[in-house]
Amino acid sequence: MRTTIRIVISVLAGFLLMIPLGYVYGLLSWPTFHSWGLLHGGFFAAWPTLSILAYLMLGYLPFFTRVDNTPLLIVGLFWGLLLASFLGIGSYLNAATIYGLLAGTTVLVAALSFFARLGPGFALLAIAPVLFSKLDLLLDLMSSPPLADVLDNAYYAFRNIRRPLIATLAGWGLGSLARSRLSRSPSAE
């Protein structure tokens, strides 16, 4: 029962958190998640991400149980929002900026993976907003398009998330490798 209550509160809170998100992005003149961007499709990435964030934050209340590594997951989600925001306007950014964002993703996920003892699913949480931003393709499936159009849209969506996915998995691999190397006991020689 507590889990159901927590999920319902998280979904509603995620929706309501889009108001301050749009306000902050508008004040900072950042792309994608400002008020206009949220009204024109940005909510596909913002609402699920903010719902996950609310779910994690509810763990700090005594009524709900806290998820392991909650602060690290929250940092990953915030980075994911920034990444989705700026990759959403990727056609306006130069290659150095895009690769800088991807390198930052790799470093951040490596650091978070080093401290968190979670699997690759944790790493994917850092790019969850990027993945959620492609959910608008699901609306196309509701209109029963031909299979060729569905496959073309799926290929296009994968092509857009390929680089963040590779950067995230590389960061997870580096962080896990570093943690395993440091946790080994010294060998007797």
Average pLDDT, the chain: 83
What is the value of pTM for the model shown?
0.79
Predicted local distance difference test score (pLDDT) of residue 141: 61
Q: What is the pLDDT of residues 12-27, one digit of tens each?
A: 999 999 999 989 988 8
| Residue predicted with more confidence, 73 or 146 | 73
48/26 Cα distance (integer angstroms): 20
Predicted local distance difference test score (pLDDT) of residue 47: 86
Q: Tell me if residue 109 falls in helix, strand or coil.
A: helix
Predicted local distance difference test score (pLDDT) of residue 10: 93
Predicted local distance difference test score (pLDDT) of residue 140: 62
Predicted local distance difference test score (pLDDT) of residue 127: 83
Predicted local distance difference test score (pLDDT) of residue 20: 92
Q: What is the pLDDT of residues 64-121, one digit of tens each?
A: 888 888 888 888 888 888 888 887 776 777 888 888 989 999 999 999 888 887 777 7
99/40 Cα distance (integer angstroms): 27
Predicted local distance difference test score (pLDDT) of residue 188: 47
Q: Tell me if residue 48 falls in helix, strand or coil.
A: helix
* pLDDT reading at 9 higher than 70: yes
Q: Which two tokens mark 153?
A: 């849209």
Helix axes 70-87, 43-58, angle to 10 degrees: 170
